[in-house]
Amino acid sequence: MKLVSYNVNGIRAAAKKGLYEWIIETDPDIICLQETKAQPEQVDLSVLHEAGYHDYWYSAQKKGYSGVLTLSKKKAKEVQTGMGISQHDDEGRVILTDFGTWTLLNCYFPSGSSSEERHGVKMQFLADLRPWISGLLASQKKLILVGDYNIVHQDKDIHNPSRKDKPSGFRPEERAWMDEWFGSDFKDGYRLIHPDQEDEYSWWSYRAGSRARNKGWRIDYISVSNPLAKKVSDAGHHHDAKHSDHCPVWIDIKL
């Protein structure tokens, strides 16, 4: 099956740029969208329903903010929204869809770029996410967690690793969290296939023609739990999709 993750930076704006047509043409089995910035009643997904997709939403309480949406051709056996922590759940950051033999988590990690306060919220999210995931792994070993993590993991995941200002997204404490994440229960689906690839990014600033010059960051990931690592057969980025300041990331996995 093909699994895609895409921060669309507003599903209504992305739809006007051909998002739905791109999804139908690309035909993933599951596509997880982040930063939908919409409530379900504000969006007409009929064309995707006709293409065979079920839709599972978790929107932020604040209108026009955050939110995640999972579109799957296979109907989920169970859906769970949130982590049980209102600080994060009110922002619509995590939706779980269980398919019986494996479980998918679609996540939009907080950005800390706007202020030190928001960076603190981000670090609290990371601290809270890890034990919650450990609890899930106790009963379901086959987990996939996709989304916009808003963190650069390695130097090769950013175009200018020598920068000294260390913005949120490239700070030692959050990169250390990623080291532990990919060094214990999970593997980076993209790096399983392309361990040494450089200059491959998933987000570019709208400023200074960054995308055209490929001055980007790789901050969108598909993490697979260790029992699934050998099931990943291919992975990459859809650079043709330009409905957002991100591009979709994808894996092919034998489930």
- In this structure, the dihedral spanned by the alpha carbons of residues 80, 81, 86 and 92, taken in order and rounded to 10 degrees, is 170
Under a CB-based contact definition with an 8 Å cutoff, are residues 151 and 167 in contact?
no
Considering only CA atoms, give the Rg of the chain.
17
Residues 6+ apart with CB under 8 A from 159: 199, 201, 214, 215, 216, 217
Structure tokens at 126: 């990371």
Active-site entry in 89, 148, 157, 179:
148
- Between CA 79 and CA 112 the distance in angstroms is 28
Identify each DSSP E strand in the chain by its residue range.
2-7, 30-34, 54-58, 68-72, 78-81, 94-98, 103-108, 143-148, 186-188, 203-204, 216-217, 220-225, 232-237, 249-253
Catalytic residue check, 148: yes
Backbone angles phi, psi at 88, to 5 degrees: -90, -40
Beta carbons of 36 and 62 less than 8 angstroms apart: no
Question: For residues 157, 163, 165 and 171, what is the CA-based torsion angle, rounded to 10 degrees?
Answer: 30
Cα 246 from Cα 94, distance rounded (Å): 19
Helices 116-137 and 172-183, interaxial angle, to 10°? 10
- Which residues are identified as catalytic? 148
